[in-house]
Structure 1
């Protein structure tokens, strides 16, 4: 499996060496000059913790490479996968450049980005992704809900890239014909999940975890940046997604701003930073079939080995039209999550789920884990947020969320999750079921939760209900 900088196949490295190095290995290895002609900008982000300045690529002076010049056809039927790949390779060889998708309707399979490349979807352009699984083979190194594996390529995939971007005022759209059939979770799918978990538990090398075999049908992410540094996603509109929409995985320095997502399918989270640090999400509009933003850090044993927390993540000035939660933390959080700041965001929906297959907004801030996860959650700040109608509440913390895994597998190792330092202030909600519900563990209570100036005009139930909490204040 080649990476963005021609560093060779790390899939054959000793498993423990790779896991202990985590993102540091990948990012240090990318200290080449693969994007020497790409400028970088710095952005200071205010936060109630030490937030390093973000660095992101600036392609304003880079060469441009139109996919049409490499044989792409804008008829909405023919696949332009090869032409797009050639344009990306040319931009990479040039030391960096912008690959232009011109106005028109362009159909493609998997798009694999490379270092120093900006995929620019021009205004009036639609890049339409086939739902034929064969267009996303051979399998690539990716993950499924916190466990690494080989699977169908994400629709747009960047592996070990530095200075990489997706920009433009155009449209990225996923055909859903096949993926919609895969939304269901029949026995073959569940059996595949069990097999993947057991492979990870046995520390089987990633190269031997091919989940495209059989009928497991693990849907690919729409966009995944895997082990990347200096990432920019800006201005684009995304319509539909097979699975999680944007997944920065083991990344550092990620800027996502002024994008709009409409994805009402199963597991259609908006943005899922996982085991990533120094992330800014701002000015975005979310219309989701699942959580708007969900911060994660891996599942169980594998994440304990990698040991890479998600930290220093800021979400600001965003609008949510539909989605289960505005900000979810977990439940895949075994590597730890800390230093999260959500502010000046708004939920504007009716609370019923607006549109086909939309979901009602449940909670604004939802921390979820279980007895298997371990990890930790600390220093979470949530302020200046406004909402219309919530089925749940402003803050919910649940330490017994296992979903289908409760029936699939036993608890092999019990590791509780320390949760501390949750700060919620200046919140206004028209209507909700409650303000705050916390269900901590008797053996490891939730600590230090502080609510200040949280106002709900109409409550459908008790305002606050807590169990196993030490240091709760409400002012």
Structure 2
């Protein structure tokens, strides 16, 4: 016979155990509150952002917790995350954006590098701590459905997710689609984790995947991004530095750049490691490091990257546009030093869909009074599909000190198909092998105004065209370890 007291003790313990097991085994980790309990509508028929906001506000006021969005379609304008709140999108849940600008709040106005008025968003947070957006659901901006009733309104189109002045932020697992503008913008925030995100945004131009802006202690990992504009872009639209960032194990595709620093570049870019990423079907640059608004770029480590079907694989630019943002004072010309790009496999554009008539593989250019310094590009194996005739006259690229820093603005043709380097100091190319599948009669390497250049085992499969120098060194000093090799690759 069982002891009655023991039986009474076991009953509540058994209940608690069963309750815990029920929670632990549920597919969503079911906890917190449901937006449905606050009047949300999940058939996409009515604007339901007010109900979702009530749920977030209540949970935050009660000390924090999880707000669940069950399966269904939720038509929404701006939703703001608050302290301590995790917004959890269950499998089958989709938040879709309203097509009216009036339903979006501008949580932090600014004007970007091309003069567009920015700041509205579908899901946002400002000055919040310990917030998260997680789950297996989706956020769909429906950018293609936005209605603009007045001239100039299109430049105000909303971002999808905007994080401003926040700490301890996590975005994990969700899918974002069809943003009207940038998908995810993180500004002046710290301790941010962006993981396992799927970003599909081809409906509108300027649809960047992830923009990290004047922020620090940021981790991006395991993301799959297919964006109309830059896939991952680091910006500084304020004098505050963008620093201590790690990116790894991402798949990236873009109509423009895959991995990009700038163009908005007031604050410094410091301490970046980007590794183990696959870049494919990218039309405007694989790796782009740009400083044109006063940013000092230092300690950038990019390694173990594979590119497939990519135009202009490596582009670096130090310029003097010196644009200002948010009423900040104009900064002096910046600097670029300590950039390492290593272990890169490249398969270039297969057909003539290049942005330039005669592009190249590596393009580095500073300006006369601000040279790019201490750059190391090592262990590069590239296959490209160039097919250009030699020019009768020397191709001289414009300086473009103050122009928007895209390689397409330096003319239709680069003077070299392998590497063109200008206004730099301390550049090392080591173990760089380039195979051209067609034929190109331009120079393989052309260097202009470079100090302390080191070339070590830099190869091409093409013999020089008649009357064309394979290696051109103009106003260049200290060419060390120069070992040009030809092979029958």
Verify same fold: TM over 0.5.
yes
> How far is 1:99 from its partner?
0.8
Q: Distance in 1 between matches of 2:304 and 2:200?
A: 24
Task: Give 1:226's aligned residue.
Answer: 164
After superposition, the Cα gap between the structure-2 partners of 1:413 and 1:250, relative to the gap in structure 1 and judged at 3 Å, is: closer
Task: Give 1:447's aligned residue.
Answer: 373
After superposition, the Cα gap between the structure-2 partners of 1:81 and 1:346, relative to the gap in structure 1 and judged at 3 Å, is: same
Indicate which of 315, 319, 322 corresponds to 1:396: 315
Partners of 1:140 and 1:151 within 8 A in 2: no
Task: Give 2:133's aligned residue.
Answer: 166
Indicate which of 269, 284, 291 corresponds to 2:230: 291
Q: Distance in 1 between matches of 2:427 and 2:118?
A: 44
> How far is 1:244 from its partner?
1.1
Indicate which of 396, 419, 437 corresponds to 1:464: 419
Q: Identify unmatched segments of 5+ residues in structure 2.
A: 1-27, 350-358, 387-415, 431-489
Q: Identify unmatched segments of 5+ residues in structure 1.
A: 1-59, 190-214, 350-359, 407-411
> How far is 1:377 from its partner?
0.9
Partners of 1:133 and 1:152 within 8 A in 2: no
Which has the larger share of helix?
Answer: 1
1:191-270 to 2 correspondence within 5 Å? 215=153, 217-264=155-202, 265-270=204-209
> How far is 1:62 from its partner?
9.3
After superposition, the Cα gap between the structure-2 partners of 1:98 and 1:291, relative to the gap in structure 1 and judged at 3 Å, is: same
Partners of 1:141 and 1:150 within 8 A in 2: no
* Max Rg structure: 2
Count of residues in Structure 1 that have an aligned counterpart in Structure 2: 360
Q: Distance in 1 between matches of 2:361 and 2:298?
A: 20
Q: Work out which structure has the larger RCO, using CA pairs closer than 8 Å and 6 or more positions apart in sequence.
A: 1
After superposition, the Cα gap between the structure-2 partners of 1:231 and 1:133, relative to the gap in structure 1 and judged at 3 Å, is: same
Cα offsets for 1:144-177 (capped at 9, x unmatched): 3279999663111100000000001111101224
Task: Give 2:108's aligned residue.
Answer: 141
Task: Give 2:303's aligned residue.
Answer: 383
Indicate which of 277, 283, 287 corresponds to 1:365: 287
Q: Distance in 1 between matches of 2:210 and 2:247?
A: 11
Which has the larger share of strand?
Answer: 2
| Aligned-pair Cα RMSD in Å | 2.7
Partners of 2:299 and 2:337 within 8 A in 1: yes
Task: Give 2:347's aligned residue.
Answer: 430
Partners of 1:141 and 1:148 within 8 A in 2: no
Q: Distance in 2 between matches of 1:150 and 1:441?
A: 30
Q: Distance in 1 between matches of 2:30 and 2:212?
A: 28
Task: Give 2:58's aligned residue.
Answer: 90
Runs ≥4 residues deviating over 3 A: 60-63, 146-153, 177-182, 399-403
What TM-score do you get using the length of structure 1 for normalisation? 0.71
SS at match of 1:296: strand
Task: Give 1:19's aligned residue.
Answer: none
SS at match of 2:121: coil
Partners of 1:110 and 1:156 within 8 A in 2: yes
Task: Give 1:473's aligned residue.
Answer: 428
Q: Distance in 1 between matches of 2:347 and 2:236?
A: 33
